[in-house]
Chain A
Amino acid sequence: MEPAEGRAREKKVPREVSGQAPLLHMGVSPHIRAADTTTRIMGWVIIAVLPLTVYGVYIGGFKAFLVIAMSVIGAVATEAIIQRIRHIPVTISDLSALLTGLLLGLTLPPRLPWWIALMGGVAAIALGKQVFGGLGHNIFNPALVGRAVIFVSYPAYMTTSYLVRGQAFVVNTPTIRALNSVTTATPLFVAGQVRDHQLAVNTARYIGPYLWGNPWGCIGEVSAILILLGLGILLYQGLVDWRIPVCMAGTVVLLSWALGMNPILAAVSGGLLFGACFMATDYVTNPMTAWGKVVFSVGCGLVTVVLRFYSNLPEGVMFAILLMNGFTPMIDRYMKPRPFGHKSVVSQA
């Protein structure tokens, strides 16, 4: 996990002493540093989602590629422009904007018009990241902010741009009939419901496609197996905490099971796995402590289930994570670890 090392460079303040001594660097310990850098971390996350991206583009075709490319371009260009305007160093080379754009693109439907994807990329960086002050300062996951913006702006496009529309195989299920009778849902809305709401497709014969080659999801939801492969890469590199995906997916699975849904289908369908592995684990917007991460991810799971089962929203995971992002500063403040040698946590916050 800590491969080769670089060493610290401190301010170059050499002093010459008594004429004969060599000029030496000063600096506070530690004098060696782990080799991991922000760029390397971002690069590894990109590598982790790369198999998924390639397969998603393979399934979704050129339009899917265009969606991802546009959201990446929108994100990177916005980062550069805003940093130029703010007269601060342009840091697109740390790959964080590229990663945001890529993650956003993977959460978009493959048949989405390219200009909406571009707009999502711009919104992700501008509204999700740079208004807060840039990398490390944002409260909400930038990619999800971008998605939320275009989701509320263009709900029609966002719920119909899939490779296979959902209505064909679900229209006659009791749930949809119930929903129709109560809420007079439009067909578009039903399609949205169906996509993320496994209520309507609660049958084990859809598990196979969700694992490999899912045609009725976003680009990044094309294969649960590849999502788990990406998670494996992140865990092996020590980049994410296992608690977040495990607790979030575990909460959703258990609660869905209790509410009468096929638990495996609950796990692999919709945006849950992608959100739990790549969105909830975003460094900046989840808590720092181990127990804080547990609270955060269980909360994400709870809200996801509530939204999936009891709301009009077709998308549970996105708003669940965004909502819990808002709680992160509070969790960080109150869930401090017990300092070594202390009897118990004394909250002085």
Chain B
Amino acid sequence: MGWAQRMKRALFTRGGVHPEPRKVSSIMKIFPGPNPEQVIIPLSQHIGAPCEPVVEIGDEVLVGQKIGDSAEYVSAPVHSSVSGEVTGIKKYPHPGGHDMLAIQITSDHLDRPSPDLQPVAEPLELAPGEIRVRVREGGIVGMGGAGFPTHVKLDTPADKSIEVMIVNGAECEPYLTGDYRVMLENSEQVLMGAKIAQRALGADRIVVGVEHVFPDVIRVMREAGGPFGIEVVSLPCRYPQGAEKSLIKSIAGREVPTGGLPRDVGASVSNVQTCYAVYDLFYNGRPLTDRVLTVAGDGIAGTANLRVKIGTTVSDVIDYCGGMVGEPGKVILGGPMMGVAQYTTGVPVIKTTSGIIVLRADTMLVEEPGHFTCIRCGRCVKRCPMNLMPYQMASYADIGDWDALERFDLEECMECGCCAYICPTKNPLVQLIKVGKDGLARRRRKMDSLVGTGDGRG
């Protein structure tokens, strides 16, 4: 980094941080993942109602066969990623931290495809409603991290109109390169999937946002998107550029209002891999049964971008990459900024797992203060992409002053971790803000039970 750029960052950066990219895996082609003996497919891999199993122990299943579904609208079915026999339906460890109901399938290593879903000859001729039904049947959810069911996102209400559909190629987390590789290797497929999604949305145009440090991707995507009139925008490189609200602000120049959705400002954001999954569903007839993720970190022997079957356990993937080196520190699903540290490598890869980051214990040590210690340097305020006051929220949460916390917009915080990353005293700001959110929620519930009205406000 040149001194001029450094000076510019020092003086004028507002919102977001610049962690070291560590994207060594960006030069590695996507490889097929392990062929596990067993997969564990959680019935809840998305935001919304969990699925109910539609198979029983002992059933034989095929690749792409639906094994769980829900009657709720905001939900997405799950499919088997291997062919074989259902050997267990019970609670297994889940990347979210709690044990969740999941279906264990013992693979026969034949990968016989299910005939349930077939390719569509002309997907762009389908009616929007038909596209949404098929997207739901394909079990497609947002693969960037939140896992919002895609068919719900594609369902534009009658009173709203979507002007721009944004394909999120801003992979701002350190280490992660899965989206980058998918854009580089499958640019046309991604854009074809985006066209299908655009038709369902009724969006006027498609814009792909890519961080400017990936000129090769921008070039490839421009070449592929030119004939379709798809615009590729080069974005500033900072974390959290790929967060939905930041991305809409960068590309469309609009701020999603508090408590609102992107559709309120005429925008819709879909991850690159979600678009690829849509393509795969309509052109190849394959539901969402695998995804590309990055395996990286200093605690693992091999770094790779792998197309991993949903339900493969993390330990299988780690073994496939040569196993851990050094004293095991953390195994993080997702990126190091927002990912969740796992207590066991027995958790499965799910639809929203964008990476497996293994960190060594001996290199991840940083002294954290015993209690909240702030030197008021103001970096958290300056770097918060949501313009919040993290140090105040965290200090009030630390002492449990819920009255004071009511003054702040805690629900606006997306827990991106910029504040805790940049904090010179290493305060666990995100953790304290989570405590604050939880405390406020409990307080409101208590108020409701006391008052008896129960409208959710204390």
Interface residues of A (CB under 8 A from B): 1-2, 4-10, 15, 17-18, 21-34, 36-38, 40-41, 96, 135-136, 235-238, 241-242, 283-285, 287-290, 293, 332, 336-343, 348-349
A and B contact pairs by CB, cutoff 8 A, 6 listed: A9-B366, A25-B330, A30-B430, A31-B357, A288-B389, A339-B258
Given contacts A235-B10, A241-B378, A288-B389, A340 and B245 within 8 Å (CB-CB): yes
Chain A CB within 8 A of B17 CB? yes
Q: Assess whether A29 is in contact with B422, with CB atoms less than 8 Å apart.
A: no
Contact between A8 and B364 (Cβ–Cβ < 8 Å)? yes
Number of interface residues of B (CB under 8 A): 80
Asked whether any CB of chain A lies closer than 8 Å to the CB of B231, the reply is no
Give A73 to B210 CA distance when docked, in angstroms.
54
User: Judging by beta carbons under 8 Å apart, are B10 and A25 in contact?
Assistant: no
Contact A34-B17, Cβ < 8 Å, known A17-B344, A24-B341: yes
Contact B387 A339 (CB under 8 A): yes
B420 touches A136 (CB 8 A): no
Among B13, B343, B381, B421, point to the contact of A17 (Cβ < 8 A): B343
Is B36 an interface position by the 8 A CB rule?
Answer: no
Interface flag for B14 (CB, 8 Å):
yes
Residue B351 at the chain A interface, CB threshold 8 Å: no
Give every chain A residue within 8 A of B424 (Cβ-Cβ). Answer: 34, 36-38, 40-41
Asked if B339 and A29 sit within 8 Å, CB to CB, the answer is yes
Return the chain B residue nearest A138 by Cβ: B376
Complex Cα–Cα for A96 and B377 (A):
13
* CA A136 to CA B373, docked complex, whole Å: 7
Residues of B bordering A, CB below 8 Å: 3, 6-7, 9-11, 13-14, 17-20, 93, 174, 245, 249, 255-258, 260, 315, 324, 328-332, 336-346, 357, 359, 361, 363-368, 373-378, 381-382, 385-389, 391-392, 406-407, 409, 412, 415, 417, 420-426, 428, 430-431, 434
Are the C-beta atoms of A32 and B421 separated by less than 8 Å? yes
Q: Name A15's closest neighbour in chain B (CB-CB).
A: B343
Asked if A339 and B409 make an inter-chain contact with CB atoms under 8 angstroms apart, the answer reads: yes
When the two chains form their complex, are residues B365 and A9 in contact, meaning their CB atoms are under 8 A apart? yes
Q: A9-B367, A17-B346 are in contact. Are A28 and B412 (CB under 8 A)?
A: no
The answer for the CA separation of A337 and B206 in the assembled complex, in Å, is: 32
Per the bound structure, the CA–CA distance linking A255 and B225 in Å amounts to 57
Knowing A136-B376, A284-B375, the reply to whether A37 touches B342 (Cβ < 8 A) is no
State how many angstroms separate the Cβ of A274 from the closest Cβ of chain B. 21
The answer on a CB contact under 8 Å between A31 and B378 is no
Shortest beta-carbon distance, B185 to chain A, in Å?
A: 28
- Which of chain B's residues have a CB closer than 8 A to the CB of A21? 315, 344-346
Query: Chain B residues with Cβ under 8 A from A26's Cβ?
Result: 330, 341, 343
Q: Besides the contacts A136-B376, A283-B376, A341-B257, what 4 more A-B pairs have beta carbons closer than 8 Å?
A: A32-B337, A283-B378, A341-B258, A343-B257
- Considering the chains assembled together, what is the distance between the CA atoms of A73 and B405 in angstroms? 41
Q: Which residue of A lies closest to B245 (CB)?
A: A340
Query: Which 5 pairs between the two chains have the least Cβ-Cβ distance?
Result: A30-B417, A7-B364, A238-B10, A17-B344, A22-B328
Residues of A within 8 A of B409 (CB): 339, 342
Complexed CA–CA distance, A24 and B331 (Å): 7
Q: Cβ of B385: which chain A residues have Cβ within 8 Å of it?
A: 340
Whether the pair A30, B338 counts as a contact (CB closer than 8 A) is: yes
Contacts of B9 in A (CB 8 A): 1, 238
Docked Cα-Cα span, A4 to B368, in Å, equals: 18
Q: Are B11 and A284 closer than 8 Å at their CB atoms?
A: no
- Are A24 and B428 in touch, CB under 8 angstroms? no
Question: Across the interface, do A1 and B344 meet the contact criterion of CB distance under 8 Å?
Answer: no
A242 shortest CB reach to chain B, Å: 6
Q: Which residues of B contact A135 (CB under 8 A)?
A: 373, 375
How far, in angstroms, from A343 to B423 measured CA to CA in the complex?
29
Q: A30-B336, A283-B375, A340-B385 are in contact. Are A8 and B366 (CB under 8 A)?
A: yes
| A28 and B10 form a contact (CB under 8 A) | no
Residues of A within 8 A of B431 (CB): 28
Please, how many angstroms separate the alpha-carbon atoms of A8 and B419 in the complex? Answer: 13
B339 contact set on A, CB distance < 8 A? 29, 31
How far, in whole Å, are A120 and B308 apart by their CA atoms in the complex? 66
Which chain A residue shows the least CB distance to B407?
A348
Name the residue in B14, B344, B417, B424 with the highest tally of chain A Cβ atoms < 10 Å from its Cβ. Answer: B424
Known: A17-B344, A25-B361, A136-B376. A8 touches B257 (CB 8 A): no
Bound state CA distance, A1 and B228, in angstroms?
A: 41
Q: Which residue of B is nearest A96, CB measured?
A: B375
Taking a contact as CB atoms under 8 Å apart, the answer to whether A37 and B426 are in contact is yes
A288–B426 touching, CB < 8 Å: no
> Which residue on chain B has the smallest CB distance to residue A20?
B315
CB distance from A23 to the nearest CB of B (A): 7
Instruction: Look across to chain A and name the residue whose beta carbon is closest to the beta carbon of B345.
Output: A21
User: Using Cβ atoms and an 8 Å threshold, which residues of chain A touch B357?
Assistant: 31
Separation of A337 and B426 alpha carbons in the complex (Å): 23
A25 touches B381 (CB 8 A): no
Enumerate chain A residues within 8 angstroms of B331, measured Cβ to Cβ. Answer: 24
